[in-house]
Amino acid sequence: MPRPLSAPEVSSSPFVSTPTVAASHGIDLFSSPEATRLSQLIERIGFGDVDDTAKGEVKAIMKDYCARTGHPLPQAAYDEQVAIIGTILEYKYELGRSALLSWDRSNCTVTPTFTSLREQAARAVDAPQLDEDTRMIEGASRHRSVVTDKDGRAFEFGRETLVRGLSRSERRWRNFQTLATVIQEFGR
């Protein structure tokens, strides 16, 4: 992601701790503390590999979930809170690929996968964020040195920023797939 001007690097996790749609269907979701721990872990895995410590953290979150609810994570809760995170992380990776292609071609270019994932991610990502993503691709196609987020904050921008962000997005997405496998295996 682009770096804010005159501020430390800021990043946010795509994990939503209290999706109200699923709660209305009687699905036992992660508690706020469980969701926070998982969000923090997802954020950290963008910087390195998934090791036994990270897998152990996921298992601890799942043990807490099982102790609180009395059962493993149901498939519906997995789909609502875990699978959607993978979709969003893959979407962010494809956003980075599309922005880099746009930069290199000096023309707004998106991958077919980005288009498909954007429709899926729209279930969990608010419209202003999706608009910001579109502006990032447009800014890349015009070789802008600064882009603004939905809150009006300015961020440094350039090809090097896009390459770093793409690398981190890919790492986070691939590492998350490993964690998601641990969650699924624990739920069996």
Structural contact between residues 118 and 107, judged by C-beta atoms closer than 8 angstroms: no
* Alpha-carbon span 76 to 64, nearest angstrom: 18
- Is 150 inside any structural domain? yes
Based on the structure, what is the number of domains in the chain?
1
* Alpha-carbon span 5 to 146, nearest angstrom: 9
- Is 15 inside any structural domain? no
* Alpha-carbon span 63 to 65, nearest angstrom: 5
- Is 19 inside any structural domain? no
- Is 14 inside any structural domain? no
* Alpha-carbon span 37 to 54, nearest angstrom: 11
The reported pTM is 0.77
* Alpha-carbon span 130 to 110, nearest angstrom: 14
- Is 148 inside any structural domain? yes
Looking at residue 4, what is its pLDDT? 35
- Is 6 inside any structural domain? no
Domain carrying residue 158: 27-187
Report pLDDT digits (tens) over 13-47. Answer: 322 222 222 332 455 678 888 888 888 888 887 77
Q: Which helix (H) or strand (E) holds 123?
A: none
**Residues of the chain predicted below pLDDT 70:** 1-28, 187-188
* Alpha-carbon span 162 to 168, nearest angstrom: 10
- Is 60 inside any structural domain? yes
Report pLDDT digits (tens) over 48-66. Answer: 778 889 899 999 999 999 8
